[in-house]
Amino acid sequence: MQEIQFAPSILSADFTRLGEEIEAVDHAGAEVIHIDVMDGHFVPNITIGPLVVKAARKATEKIFDVHLMITDADQYVDAFADAGADWITVHVEACTHLHRTVSRIKELGKKAGAVLNPATSLSCLDYILEDLDLVMLMSVNPGFGGQSFIESTLTKTDNLKKRIDTLGLEIGIEIDGGISPATIERVAAAGANIFVAGSAIYGCDEYGPVIAEMRKLAEAGKAKRG
Ligand code: DX5
Ligand code: ZN
């Protein structure tokens, strides 16, 4: 899980043409499709459920990264797994029994990730890190696309990367929120390797060139880290 991967967030896609929008980022070189699930409780917005994930599954064979911003993940992980999720990420702030939730996701044969809001400390990962396939750090407060990148994510990413490397783990570091050509190089230099981007990709007329530009910048950032 440590290679550079791009995960366009369909939250910023044109939902009247969702299938085509997914095919377009697939053909533009994205490795992963990021799907934001919001319940109107954990976050102040409501988006999509398993039904839409299942329909979207017909548009591509790329990895489906389902980001659950919901209060009761335990009740829904099976449904999202059945609908075609490959990775399921859950918020540590929303999961009272995080170990149980992560175990269930893995039992279902899916990759499991924990997500931390911007103000949540890395210390909440102390007793779960080794069970995870990836950690996703929010670099905006979840709920909406198109927000500004929160700078403290850089130090947090660096600290997480050092911890993962010290422990000799192969866990991916995914960053979600405000990723664009203006921010991605520093985020990669801080140690992230999976990049979610919604408005920066779907806001462009053509998706290929912006993904290629960000990939170059991410590689430059990674090289700086050494
Ligand atoms: C926010 C979502 C993000 C969002 C990112 O709650 O989790 O995935 O789509 O959008 P941008 O890239 O526009 O900040
Ligand atoms: Zn997301």
- CB-CB neighbours of 90 under 10 Å: 26
Q: Is the CB of 179 under 6 A from ligand 1?
A: yes
- Please, are residues 48 and 76 in contact by the beta-carbon 8 Å criterion? no
pTM of the model as a whole: 0.98
Per-residue pLDDT in tens (0 to 9) along the chain, 226 residues: 889 999 999 999 999 999 999 999 999 999 999 999 999 999 999 999 999 999 999 999 999 999 999 999 999 999 999 999 999 999 999 999 999 999 999 999 999 999 999 999 999 999 999 999 999 999 999 999 999 999 999 999 999 999 999 999 999 999 999 999 999 999 999 999 999 999 999 999 999 999 999 999 999 999 999 7
Which of these is catalytic: 14, 165, 176, 205?
Answer: 176
**What letter does residue 147 receive in the DSSP assignment?**
P
Write the DSSP string, 149-209: PPTTHHHHHHHHHHHHHHTT---EEEEESS-STTTHHHHHHTT--EEEESHHHHTSS-HHH
- CB-CB neighbours of 169 under 10 Å: 16
Q: Is the CB of 137 under 6 A from ligand 1?
A: no
